[in-house]
C-alpha cells in the first residue's frame, strides 16, 4: 500500500517524531510514502511549516537519514502548497516548490478566507494546475451541486493530463468522497487517462491509513468489475425509533474478511467508507454484538470503578455493556429495565451461571457506587441524579433523544461526582476504535451465549418495521438473500 499524503508537523525537524510515523506505516503494511507539510498558508488561522529554506534543508536532510536507515519502505519528500490569487504570493509559493522536494502536492485551502463560492473554488483549482509546478492535485472537493460544475471539473482533469499531474483520492474523514462521487471521478480518470494517488492526509500518527482497507478493496473491485454488496443490516433500535433508517451494515466477504460500514437499510450497495471497521473471518453474531459492545466499552475502559453497579436499560447497547462488565470481572450488577420479557430472564440466568455473577433485575433506581445509563432517556437520567450521594461514578452511554432534563454542574461539583460521556466517535482515535473492536471480536468469538443474544432474520417486506414494533430478541440482524 502507498500513502502519498502524510503531514509530519513537528516531524519535519524532529527525527524521533518522523520515526514514529515510519514505524506505524510499516506496521500497517504501507511500503511507500510521501512525507510533507504545508508551505505558506492562505488562512491566518493555520500555521505554516515548510515556509523557509532553513527548515526545508533540515527536513530534506532527515528524509535522507530515514532512507538510509529504513530499507523496507520507500520514502519521498514533499510539500503541500496553498493557492494564492495574488501574483506575488504565488511566486513566493513557487519558489518554495522549487526547493528540491520529490513531489509537490497542491490544493485550494481557506475557501472561506478567499471568499470563494462553489464556482470560484473550481476556477481556483483549475488555476492551481495551470500556474503551479505541481505533481499531485489534492483533495478536490465535490460539493452537493458538483454535477452542475461538470464542465469545469472536466477542464481541471484535461489540464492535469496536459501537465502530467496526478489526482489524489483522499481517504481522510475530512475529504473522502462518497461512492457516487468516487465513481464519478474514477470515470473521469479513465476518460482522460489520469493517474491517481491515494493519501490519508494524516495530521498525526493515529490517522495513518484511515479508511484504507475498504478503499483499496473497492478500487480493486472497480477495476475488476466485481460488485461489493451489503449482505447484512444490523437494527439499531434507539436510533431507528428516532427516525433513522439504520446505519450499521456488513459487507459480503472481501478476501476472507468483511467490513462493518455506515449504511442505511435496504440499500445493498456500499455508498460510504467513513468509520468502516474490518471484521476478518468472524461470524455475523460476533460482529453485530461486538459493534454494540464497543459503544459502551470505549467509555468503560477509561477508568476503574467500583463493583456495585446499577445498569439502566438492557437494549442493544445495554446487553453489550453487561457482557463487557462480566468479561472484566464485575459481578455485582443490578439492572433497571421496565420491559422484562422471558428471553431477558432466561439470559440473566445463563450469564449468572457462566460468570458466577450476581445480576439482578430491579424496578427502582436505588443507591449504588457506579451508575451506567444506556437509555438516553431524560427521566431515567434525572432519577439517577436525584438525591445522589457523594463520590459516585456515572457513565452516560445512551444517546439522549430529547433534553427535558439538564444536569446541574453545581451538583457534580458539590457531590464530587465523576460523570463520563459515551459518544463513540467524538474524541476517539480511529486506531483506538479499531484496536478495541478487534479485541472484542476475539473475546466474543469464544462466548457461546453471543449466538443466543443475536438473532438473524431473512429479509422480507416490512421486516424492519415489524422488528421495531415488537422486541423479542436483544439484537436483530437482517440477511439479504443471495
Taking only the tens place, the pLDDT of each residue in 170-212 is 999 889 998 899 999 999 999 999 999 999 999 999 899 888 8
Taking only the tens place, the pLDDT of each residue in 268-321 is 878 777 778 889 889 999 999 999 999 999 999 999 999 999 999 999 999 999
Q: Is 344 exposed, middle or buried (0-12, 13-18, 19+ CB in 10 A)?
A: middle
* Structure-block grid coordinates of residue 29: 503494511
Query: In this model, does residue 224 exceed pLDDT 80?
Result: no
Instruction: Please give the DSSP secondary-structure letter assigned to residue 6.
Output: E
For residues 194 and 431, which has the higher predicted lDDT (pLDDT)?
194
Q: Give pTM, 2 decimals.
A: 0.72
Segment 356-372 shows an average pLDDT of 95
Contacts of 93 (CB under 8 A, 6+ apart): 39, 40, 81, 82, 84, 132
No. of H helices and E strands in the chain?
16, 19
Q: Is 410 exposed, middle or buried (0-12, 13-18, 19+ CB in 10 A)?
A: exposed
Long-range contacts of 329-334 (CB under 8 A, 24+ apart): 331/307, 331/355, 331/356, 331/357, 331/358, 332/307, 332/308, 332/357, 332/358, 333/309, 333/357, 333/358, 333/359, 333/360, 334/309, 334/310, 334/359, 334/360, 334/361, 334/362, 334/366, 334/368
Q: How far apart are CA 33 and CA 75, in angstroms?
A: 5
CB 315 within 8 A of CB 238: yes
Confidence tier at 226 by pLDDT (50, 70, 90): low
Please give the CATH topology (third level) of the domain spanning 2-224.
TIM Barrel (3.20.20)
- What is the structure's pLDDT at 332? 97
CATH number listed for the domain at residues 228-482: 3.90.180.10
Give the residue extent of every domain in the chain: 2-224, 228-482
Q: Read out DSSP for 158-177? A: HHHHHTTPEEEEE-STTT--
Q: What is the CA radius of gyration of the chain?
A: 26
Q: Which of 29-38, 73-82, 217-226, 424-433 has the lowest mean pLDDT?
A: 217-226
Helix (H) or strand (E) run with residue 198 in it = strand 196-199
Confidence tier at 227 by pLDDT (50, 70, 90): low
- What is the structure's pLDDT at 241? 73
Distance of CA 390 to the CA centre of its chain: 37
Confidence tier at 423 by pLDDT (50, 70, 90): confident
Q: Read out DSSP for 349-408? A: HHHHHHHT-EEEEESS----SEEEE-S--HHHHHHHHTT--SS-EEEE-SPPS--S----
Segment 139-152 shows an average pLDDT of 94
- What is the structure's pLDDT at 225? 56
Amino acid at each position: 500500500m502507498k500513502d502519498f499524503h502524510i503531514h509530519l508537523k513537528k516531524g519535519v525537524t524532529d527525527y524521533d517524531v518522523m520515526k514514529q510515523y515510519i514505524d506505524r506505516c510499516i506496521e500497517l503494511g504501507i511500503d511507500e510514502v510521501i512525507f510533507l507539510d504545508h508551505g505558506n498558508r492562505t488562512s491566518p488561522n493555520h500555521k505554516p511549516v515548510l515556509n523557509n529554506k532553513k527548515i526545508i534543508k533540515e527536513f530534506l536532510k532527515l528524509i535522507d537519514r530515514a532512507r538510509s536507515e529504513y530499507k523496507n519502505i520507500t520514502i519521498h519528500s514533499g510539500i503541500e502548497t496553498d493557492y494564492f490569487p495574488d501574483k506575488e504570493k504565488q511566486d513566493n509559493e513557487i519558489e518554495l516548490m522549487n526547493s528540491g522536494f520529490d513531489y509537490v502536492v497542491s490544493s485550494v485551502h481557506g475557501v472561506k478566507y478567499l471568499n470563494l463560492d462553489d464556482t470560484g473554488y473550481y476556477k481556483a483549482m483549475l488555476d492551481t494546475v495551470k500556474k503551479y509546478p505541481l505533481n499531485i492535485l489534492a483533495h478536490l472537493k465535490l460539493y452537493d451541486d458538483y454535477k452542475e460544475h461538470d464542465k469545469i471539473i472536466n477542464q481541471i482533469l484535461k489540464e492535469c493530463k496536459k501537465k502530467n499531474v496526478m489526482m489524489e483520492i483522499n481517504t481522510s474523514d475530512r475529504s473522502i468522497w462518497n461512492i457516487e462521487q468516487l465513481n464519478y471521478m474514477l470515470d473521469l480518470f479513465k476518460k482522460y487517462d489520469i493517474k491517481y494517488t491515494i493519501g490519508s492526509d494524516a495530521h498525526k500518527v493515529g490517522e495513518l491509513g484511515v479508511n484504507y482497507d475498504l478503499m483499496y478493496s473497492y478500487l480493486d473491485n472497480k477495476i475488476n468489475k466485481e460488485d461489493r454488496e451489503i449482505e447484512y443490516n444490523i437494527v439499531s433500535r434507539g436510533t431507528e425509533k428516532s427516525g433513522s433508517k439504520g446505519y450499521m451494515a456488513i459487507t459480503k466477504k472481501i478476501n476472507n474478511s468483511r467490513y462493518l460500514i455506515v449504511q442505511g437499510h435496504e440499500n445493498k450497495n456500499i455508498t460510504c467508507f467513513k468509520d468502516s471497521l474490518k471484521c476478518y473471518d468472524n461470524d455475523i453474531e460476533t460482529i453485530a454484538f461486538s459493534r454494540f459492545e464497543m459503544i459502551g466499552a470505549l467509555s468503560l475502559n477509561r477508568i476503574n470503578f467500583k463493583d456495585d453497579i446499577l445498569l439502566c436499560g438492557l437494549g442493544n447497547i445495554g446487553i453489550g455493556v453487561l457482557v463487557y462488565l462480566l468479561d472484566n470481572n464485575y459481578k455485582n450488577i443490578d439492572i433497571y429495565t421496565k420491559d422484562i420479557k422471558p428471553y431477558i430472564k432466561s439470559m440473566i440466568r445463563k450469564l449468572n451461571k457462566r460468570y458466577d455473577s450476581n445480576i439482578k433485575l430491579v424496578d427502582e433506581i436505588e443507591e449504588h457506587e457506579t451508575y451506567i445509563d444506556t437509555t438516553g432517556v431524560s427521566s431515567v437520567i434525572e432519577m439517577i441524579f436525584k438525591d445522589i450521594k457523594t463520590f459516585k461514578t456515572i457513565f452516560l452511554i445512551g444517546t439522549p433523544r430529547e433534553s427535558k432534563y439538564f444536569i446541574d454542574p453545581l451538583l457534580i461539583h458539590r457531590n464530587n461526582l465523576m460523570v463520563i460521556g459515551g459518544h463513540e466517535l467524538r474524541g476517539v482515535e480511529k486506531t483506538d476504535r479499531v484496536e478495541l473492536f478487534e479485541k472484542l471480536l476475539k473475546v466474543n468469538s469464544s462466548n457461546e451465549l453471543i449466538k443466543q443474544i443475536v438473532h438473524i432474520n431473512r429479509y422480507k417486506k416490512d421486516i424492519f418495521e415489524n422488528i421495531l414494533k415488537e422486541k423479542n430478541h436483544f439484537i436483530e440482524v437482517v440477511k439479504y438473500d443471495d
